[in-house]
Structure 1
Amino acid sequence: MRHVERTGPVPKAMDGPESPAARERAKAAEHVAAQRAALARGEKRGKGFDYRVYKDEGVRAALERLFHGKCAYCESDYAAQAPVDIEHYRPKSGVEDAPDHMGYWWLAMDWANLLPSCIDCNRRRYQLLPLPTTGSLADLRAGANTALKTGKETAFPVFAGTRAFGLTPDPEAETALERPYLLDPCRDDPGPHLSFLVDAPEPLALVLPARTAPGEGLPLPQIGAEIGPDAVAPHVSARGAVSIQVYGLNRLGLVQARTRILRQLEVLGALVIEAHALAEDLAQSPDPAARAAARMVADFADRLAAAIRAMAAPDQPYSAMVGQWIDHWTDRLGPVTEETHVTDD
């Protein structure tokens, strides 16, 4: 997960007081009010509201451009595997740990509440997850994992502030008081909360909750019946831990896909180091041909380094992990961030 600025125009279907979104919100408000009145009379809640504007093709296209065709949570290219889910960061029709909640109906057609998600991050279903003792990808393949239900669905835990129920004339003000656990890549910088395991002896692209400053640790809530322990270790980002568990960011297939990228980085990085070392040796030779070869080898190493940097671009899969790998190995891989120049003597 990486931070994405929500830039560009608001999709036409959601822009302005006369837009389809504005009309749908007014109808949703009437529907929810009628449901609450029915409950107050002791009647059943009734059928949920049929939200449609968020499915608008212009909305889908805008999200695809904003996130480069990647899942907002795991950074997988969703077009190659399954149709994208238009995901509501704050759930539209109900909240898992608040049975009386009717969903964040006032945000169901709000552009700022929508994200593109792959099916596995969004829908609750069983996934293979690594056990805490897992030390290698071979262990994972051999069965050092457990099947748990992950996927956001209607999960939306908050750790501070009063949960917004949309009971006031200004539900947006209620929303502003919430402090959610789940990371939103458009509102939050996931970097301080998520740390990829990029320095293991054997490349294994697990993502872990990042360490936090003393005093910033939060209790970790129970999400559903099968996700998450009841507490989180001190000085570890609880927001990172909850996001990893709910979105399923360590499901086996995803770890394998990231690990393939991590292994490619290790190979490219080693080639950069070896090429630059060879260029330096050749540059010391009294033979003009060897010195000319040094320039060619150095240029080759710089192109490899540029290829590594390109893998951290926003439109590339798992770019946040690649960026952390580059940051971690900057000292070892100086050429990754700085070109080497071989001069003529």
Structure 2
Amino acid sequence: MKIPSSIWTLLIGIGLTLTSLWYGQNHGLLPTAASDEAVLVDGLFNTMMTVSAGIFLIVEGVLIYCAVKYRRRAGDNEDGPPIEGNVPLEILWTAIPAIIVIGISVYSFEVYNDIGGFDPHSVHESPIMQESMAMPGAAIAATLNDTPPSTAPNLNQQKSDEAMQDPATAAVRNADQIPQKRDAPGVGSVSPSIGASPENVGKPPGLKINVTGLQYAWIFTYPETGITTGEMHVPIGREVQINMTANDVIHAFWVPEFRLKQDAIPGRQSELRFTPKVEGDYTLICAELCGPYHGAMRTQVVVEKPEAFEKWMQEQLVANNNTLKEAVAVNPANLTPDEFLAPYTKDMGIQPEMLHHIHK
């Protein structure tokens, strides 16, 4: 009994769909999803892998089928039949990719919005956007001139001043040597930001950490306690707000398990919010080529239970106090600054050979 081609097409379609769905959820290409935001990003990635796997199987399957079925037989030296084209088929294979791309674009924007990447209120409330809306042509002029009107507040400077109120942060950052840039032209964006997720909008973050990038180390200061460390600790289930800048060149804060990456830019105050969900030690990588020792600019982000985090905080408070008492003592051996600071910075996760790159 010969099976109709329509039945074959249906069975092959079901097989391709099931295979694509299975691979989209079981590709194993991503590391642990260690934050609430990672789950959203993984959903988008899995969807793209499902669609990509289906398209790959269809295209490669048709190519292999045609190469086998329509291969040249022995003794066949005739030209192939002239084919002028098929308009409905061309419309179909143009419309399907267009629909897929539009669908993924909409889904991508929804994920970006859900992780706090877009806040329409901050755009409309920006002084530059208000002026652009009030004055015809002002938006075009703003994009041609990267210096907004002097009457507009410098929000980067305001955020920098707020961070510098913490003595520990002020001791690390050289904000007095780097002028704080004004709003980005046209959109009133202070700096690269991934803000609060929709359910946390309007709520204060559970934990604030000031992050300073410099060649070639990350320095973390906790303004609520004055702790300074080279290894970041955060508690599970508590939203963390990272306020970030750089002392020299552009760096990038990237923890693959969090699925979030944000630039640390001299003269700008970047913001990043996330909520850790899986306990563990994760590597923080600088994702911008920042100099010859760029590959060594990495440290650990420790996600731990709230009680373990509180214990660590208490230990750091004691350690910082003891370190301060020891550091103000006389240096009887006349050590160089690098040699003198090495024992103290070792506990902070800063490599001794990088000390000479750190400037206040």
Normalising by structure 2, we get a TM-score of: 0.22
Q: Which entry has the higher C-alpha Rg, 1 or 2?
A: 2
Normalising by structure 1, we get a TM-score of: 0.23
- Which one has a larger percent helix, Structure 1 or Structure 2? 2
